[in-house]
Chains A and B, each alone.
Chain A
């Protein structure tokens, strides 16, 4: 399975600023995903990022707030823009990896714990 490295692992940011989170995978993957996990809650998909095309955002998430780059098959970034305390969450990168036949698995990075003050 793929190994994902996320940077930074945590950060404390001032409101109004922006933070870019990096996701590096040790193998080429077609589909990458960004999730948000608010404190004490489950994971919510922000967007799907495929190489060579614009990210597809889920309801409630917009590109101006969460711009995403996907320059190649092993790397993606998520930017949290103009942050407010409500953006304090764990942000997780995930990739889809083949498991043989028609099976696919979904591996997650360790996440970026963001606190906005």
Chain B
């Protein structure tokens, strides 16, 4: 069935380093991808998103790259800070033939990012 998976379950970095979190997806019909950050005791918090007609999108200190050829998604965090320590999830939304948003998100496993001061 459809699935979204991650290559690395944990990632430890030093403060100031750049972090890269990867995600593989299997549904080639997915048209929208989102990265979420989840801190302990909280719900997922939106970080950045990208539509399938793009291959790169930048936000504040974060960049999402989409490679549709190999169905791969990555989140790059520049100058990682201790406050970035959290679990990061990728999520995908399948396209709807009618062109309207259906909203069903499929989440990846999650990567635990630990930033050491």
Binding site for B on A (CB under 8 A): 1, 4, 31, 33, 41-45, 48, 92, 94, 96, 102-111, 113
- B103 CB–A CB distance under 8 Å: yes
Given A42-B110, A43-B89, also A106-B105 (CB < 8 A): yes
Across-interface contacts of B105 in A (CB, < 8 A): 33, 43, 45, 94, 106
Across-interface contacts of B32 in A (CB, < 8 A): 104
Contact, CB under 8 Å: B44 / A43 = yes
Contact of A44 among B41, B42, B45, B107 (CB under 8 A): B107
Contact of A42 among B51, B99, B107 (CB under 8 A): B107
Residue pairs across A and B with Cβ atoms less than 8 A apart, 14 shown, are A31-B101, A33-B104, A48-B104, A92-B43, A94-B105, A96-B101, A96-B103, A105-B46, A106-B34, A108-B36, A108-B44, A108-B45, A109-B43, A110-B43
Contact of A105 among B41, B49, B110 (CB under 8 A): B49
Interface on chain A toward B: helix, strand, loop, or mixed SS?
strand
A111 to chain B, nearest CB (A): 5
Q: For chain B, give the interface size range.
A: 20 to 34
Q: Mark B30-73, 1 if CB is under 8 A from A, else 0.
A: 00101010000111111001010000000000000000000000
Contact, CB under 8 Å: B89 / A104 = no
Q: How far is the CA of A78 from the CA of B8 in the complex (A)?
A: 33
Q: How far is the CA of A16 from the CA of B18 in the complex (A)?
A: 48
Q: How far is the CA of A45 from the CA of B106 in the complex (A)?
A: 8
Across-interface contacts of A92 in B (CB, < 8 A): 43-44
Q: How far is the CA of A108 from the CA of B42 in the complex (A)?
A: 9
List residues of B (102-117) whose CB comes within 8 Å of A's CBs. Answer: 103-110
